[in-house]
């Protein structure tokens, strides 16, 4: 049995160089693709659509609000939300931010059944809500008060979930509410 003759005119150095350049081009292409698509978090820098939904939402806000027993105030403005079904933590996940009035805030807290706001961040049950879920940004809540709760669910129409809110009332006439809620 004869062994094949080495390729004429091909040095091992040129072969290694061509493989190295090919790998470098592949890595560069991946880096460019990731930077153009925003990486793993499709929300980074994304503006909400006309209805306030962040990119990645696949559930309507009213359905998600009903799921987590939230009564949004009629005067809610600048609503941004990320509502998803089929997430890793359960059937539904909701992240939301909106601006309201002092009366709207009271309606939301009472109607949604949240406990009294506290300066203690440890009352949150579901984690720190983002100031803007579309931009995945926790900055912007200058003077936050917190509340959190959990529900065991009734087994028939509602499963167990946790909710947490942060309220920035540095402008008492126009407080900002940031919320996170998820099935457990």
Q: Which residues contact 64 (CB under 8 A, 6 or more apart)?
A: 81, 83, 92, 94, 181
- In this prediction, residue 36 carries a pLDDT of 35
What is the arithmetic mean of pLDDT over 100-108? 96
User: Per-residue confidence at 29, pLDDT binned at 50, 70, 90?
Assistant: very low
CB 137 within 8 A of CB 130: yes
Q: For 82-182, where are the alpha helices, taking DSSP H only? A: 102-112
Predicted TM-score (pTM) of the model is 0.70
User: Which of 139, 45, 126 is closest to 93 using CA atoms?
Assistant: 126
Q: How many CB atoms lie within 10 A of CB 79?
A: 17
What is the arithmetic mean of pLDDT over 71-78? 95
Q: How many CB atoms lie within 10 A of CB 169?
A: 18
User: Per-residue confidence at 5, pLDDT binned at 50, 70, 90?
Assistant: low
Strand partners, 161: 151, 183
Residue range 118-167, pLDDT digits in tens: 998 888 888 888 888 888 765 668 888 999 999 887 665 667 899 999 99
User: Per-residue confidence at 34, pLDDT binned at 50, 70, 90?
Assistant: very low
Q: Compute the distance between CA of residue 64 and CA of residue 95 in angstroms, rounded to an integer.
A: 10
Top pLDDT among 136 and 26 is at: 136
Q: What is the DSSP letter of 74?
A: T
- In this prediction, residue 2 carries a pLDDT of 59
- Pairing mode, if any, of strands 77-85 and 92-99? antiparallel
CB 178 within 8 A of CB 121: no
Q: For the chain, where are the alpha helices, taking DSSP H only? A: 12-37, 61-67, 102-112
Architecture, CATH, for domain 61-183: 3-Layer(aba) Sandwich (3.40)
């Amino acid at each position: 049995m004869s062994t094949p003759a080495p390729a004429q005119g091909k040095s091992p150095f040129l072969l290694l160089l061509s493989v190295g350049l090919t790998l470098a081009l592949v890595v560069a292409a991946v880096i460019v693709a990731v930077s153009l698509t925003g990486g793993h978090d499709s929300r980074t820098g994304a503006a909400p659509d006309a209805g306030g939904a962040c990119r990645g939402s696949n559930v309507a806000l009213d359905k998600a609000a009903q799921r987590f027993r939230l009564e949004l105030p009629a005067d809610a403005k600048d609503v941004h939300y990320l509502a998803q079904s089929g997430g890793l933590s359960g059937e539904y996940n909701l992240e939301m931010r909106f601006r309201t009035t002092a009366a709207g805030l009271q309606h939301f807290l009472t109607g949604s059944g949240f406990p009294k706001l506290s300066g203690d961040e440890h009352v949150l049950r579901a984690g720190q809500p983002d100031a803007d879920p579309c931009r995945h940004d926790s900055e912007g809540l200058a003077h936050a008060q917190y509340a959190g709760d959990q529900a065991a669910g009734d087994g028939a129409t509602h499963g167990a979930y946790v909710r947490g809110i942060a309220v920035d009332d540095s402008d008492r006439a126009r407080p900002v509410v940031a919320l996170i809620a998820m099935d457990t």
